[in-house]
Amino acid sequence: MKIFVDGRYYGERDAKVSVFDHGLLYGDGVFEGIRVYHGRVFKLKEHIDRLFCSAKAILLEIPLSRAAIMKATVATCRANGLRDGYIRLVVTRGVGTLGLNPRKCKRPSVIIIAGKIRLYPKAIYRRGMEIITVPTTRNLHSALNPAIKSLNYLNNVLAKIEADNAGVEEAVMLNAAGFVAECTGDNVFIVKNGALLTPPLSAGALYGITRQTVIELALEAGLKVSEPNLTRYDLFNADECFITGTAAEIVPVVKIDGRVIGNGQPGSITRRLEVEYHALTKVSGEPI
């Protein structure tokens, strides 16, 4: 595997960052996960736009233009002969001192890894997933805005640990007001009376690229889509439920906190959106 680090390619053994990089020391940086399908980088512009929005929010000056990063991302896929896979694009604050001050970091570092990923077993997509809600609360907007896709993912990691301890793959996180925010690494949707509902961004949901794609597909299909505050009660009494994410794609959920969702099988609207999503990935994206 060839890994892009600040304009050069390195093998896996030699691709390294300094122990003084603030991305390592303090989680000071931003990242994106991007999918490659059929020799095309899916939703590349949208991911790069979100990367720059995250960077702006933390006053991180990315040392490459949007066009240059897009070009480097495609080139890294090409260098690895990648036609189907996953890209991890990382921008750290760069090398600094042992103090917090980001002004001590002279130049941010850009890292692009293009490889493979399998987030969940294939059987889960077929039969559906069981998830739980966890005590770990989603970050407050006033503390660390969930819209920032930062390298400081400990909030999500703690919730993921709780899911692992419970023997499930994923968990729903609530915000401080008790409303549904998102899962540890995915957005969450429910279907009720033929309409699609998902938590608003203000509840602590990440501006998911796949989330937005699913909303657009649903609207094109004539479904009613809304973004109300949702509670656990709403999840329990949904007709269907599924989660979305770049790596996860669309995953049906059939049980939450021991409550069976709908008839306990992936729902028809979920399956329809899955088909339409995968059809889109075959024809859309930046060619490698």
**Domain boundaries, given as residue ranges, for the chain:** 3-115, 122-281
CATH of 122-281, one of 3.40.640.10, 3.20.10.10, 1.10.579.10, 3.30.70.1350: 3.20.10.10
Give the pLDDT confidence score for residue 226 in this predicted structure. Answer: 98
pLDDT tens-digit readout, 109-133: 999 999 998 889 999 999 999 999 9
Give the pLDDT confidence score for residue 60 in this predicted structure. Answer: 98
Q: Which long-range contacts (CB under 8 A, 24 or more apart) does 39-42 make?
A: 39/83, 39/287, 39/288, 40/281, 40/284, 40/285, 40/286, 40/287, 40/288, 41/73, 41/74, 41/77, 41/87, 41/285, 41/286, 41/288, 42/281, 42/284, 42/285
Predicted structure pTM score: 0.95
Is 56 part of the annotated catalytic residue set? Answer: no
Give the pLDDT confidence score for residue 177 in this predicted structure. Answer: 97
Give the pLDDT confidence score for residue 118 in this predicted structure. Answer: 83
Catalytic residue, chosen from 149, 160, 192, 255, is 149
Give the pLDDT confidence score for residue 119 in this predicted structure. Answer: 83
Does 3-115 match 122-281 in CATH topology? no
Give the pLDDT confidence score for residue 117 in this predicted structure. Answer: 87
Give the pLDDT confidence score for residue 26 in this predicted structure. Answer: 97
- Low-confidence stretches of the chain (pLDDT beneath 50): none
Alpha-carbon distances of 158 from 25, 161, 172, 286, rounded to whole Å:
18, 5, 12, 35
CA quadruple 214, 216, 217, 223: dihedral positive or negative?
positive
CATH domain 3-115 topology: D-amino Acid Aminotransferase; Chain A, domain 1 (3.30.470)
130: part of which helix (H) or strand (E)? Answer: strand 129-133
